[in-house]
Amino acid sequence: MAIENILLALFYVLIFPGIWFLATYGMTLEWVDRKLGAVLQNRVGPPWFQPMADFIKLVSKEVIIPKACDNVMFRNLPYFAVAGVTAAMMMIPVWNGALFSFEGDLIAVIYLLTIPTATFFLAGWSSTSPYAAIGSMRVLTQLFAYEVPLMLALIGPAILAGSWNITAISEHFARNPAYMPAQIAGFLVAVLALQGKLERLPFDSPHAKTEIVGGQFTEYTGRLLAFFNMAVSMEMVVGAALLNAVFLGGGLGLTGIGAFVLFMLKTFGVVLLLVVLRVLMARIRIEQMVNFCWQILAPLAMAQIVFDIFLKIRLG
């Protein structure tokens, strides 16, 4: 085990495509989200450094921990959220191939992406505030609602590619771009489920401010809240990157700068979709969200799978 390997691993985790890249790109996307939302809502919107400024401001603020809550858990959960998202990013190809690629990493990524959601739930639960308790119950309810459609939607491309490896799936699409339009239903389901995962409008009832104040984050302040917010921004990058790799063919066979630019453009495109969804709709109730996911999204994803199996059999 050479020292270079360790340094390289550290570089991957801390700089690229790890925490530094994720944080920077996440903040950029957060700004795009806010600015674009503002423009669509006929407002001015924040300057480009606003997410960064918010982060710095929050980090410098006092951390207040409620007496009644579980101190250790309360303090450490935000870092778990960031770590979970970063670990997931390691397996998603940014351009030619992921850093750690193995058969079945698609499943691993899905599970790693539930870690932030689980920390949200625990954060709310350990805060012991009634608002946070209701918020965390909603986090969990919502998790059960969107997780199944998301998983089903991701299975479709995996069946087509005949592999559970994300890199293999994106390479498959890069080789056969004609398959991509056939995945449109699955892609839409995945975008909507991702919107639910990121707890954005219309699925933001876990922290609906007019109902339950800050939801699961009600008692969080200062540095801890800053890291939770960062985890959410990072999750947006990872989610967009995952959709890019699984549905949009990743780098489309390109290498180097070209592939990187393509990655940026396509994740941008996914975020654009997320923003438009957010701006167009009112928040729906948690029980309507569950009904929507189970009655519309899940059957749609199932239909996509059946269609994919048919396609696979016909076209060999």
Q: Tokens 């339009």 sit at which residue?
A: 181
Single out the residue of 63, 50, 85 nearest to residue 223, CA to CA.
63
Q: How far is the CB of 61 from other proteins (least distance, A)?
A: 15
Closest contact distance (angstroms) between CB of 287 and other proteins is: 7
Among 88, 259, 274, 286, binds other proteins (CB under 8 A): 286
For position 42 contacting other proteins by CB under 8 A, the verdict is yes
For position 204 contacting other proteins by CB under 8 A, the verdict is yes
What's the token pair of residue 10?
């550290």
Contact yes or no for 148/298 (Cβ under 8 A): yes
39 near other proteins, judged by CB under 8 A = no
* Gap between the Cα atoms of 237 and 231, Å rounded: 10
Smallest gap, in angstroms, from Cβ of residue 210 to other proteins? 4
Helices (H), the chain: 3-14, 19-40, 50-59, 71-89, 105-127, 130-161, 166-175, 184-197, 209-212, 222-247, 256-280, 286-292, 298-315
Q: Which of 288, 299, 306, 310 binds other proteins (CB under 8 A)?
A: 288
Residues of this chain, 206-225, that bind other proteins according to CB under 8 A: 208-213
User: Does 44 participate in binding other proteins (rule CB under 8 A)?
Assistant: no
Burial level of 63, CB count in 10 A (0-12/13-18/19+)?
middle
- Count of residues engaged in binding other proteins, rule: CB under 8 A: 30
- Chain centre distance of CA 305: 22
Does 277 help bind other proteins (rule: CB under 8 A)? no
Scanning 9-17, 180-188, 249-257, 274-282 for contacts with other proteins by CB under 8 A, the matching segment is 274-282
Applying CB under 8 A, the span of 94-102, 150-158, 197-205, 257-265 interacting with other proteins comes to 197-205
Instruction: Work out the angle at residue 204's Cα, subtended by the Cα atoms of residues 202 and 210, and round it to the nearest 5 degrees.
Output: 105
Q: Is 127 left (phi over 0), alpha (psi -120 to 50) or beta?
A: alpha
* DSSP letter, residue 295: I
What is the C-alpha to C-alpha distance for residues 290 and 141, in angstroms, rounded to an integer?
8
Using the rule CB under 8 A, is 134 a contact of other proteins?
Answer: yes
Stretch that binds other proteins, among 70-78, 113-121, 180-188, 203-211 (CB under 8 A): 203-211
Residues 54-93 that bind other proteins (CB under 8 A): none
Q: Which two tokens stand for residue 227?
A: 């890291």
Q: Of 72 and 282, which CB lies nearer to other proteins in the complex structure?
A: 282
Rule CB under 8 A: say whether 202 interacts with other proteins. Answer: yes
Which range of residues in 52-60, 72-80, 109-117, 201-209 is near other proteins by CB under 8 A? 201-209
Stretch that binds other proteins, among 64-72, 204-212, 260-268, 293-301 (CB under 8 A): 204-212
| Sites of contact with other proteins (CB under 8 A) | 40-43, 130-131, 133-134, 137-138, 201-202, 204-205, 208-213, 279-288
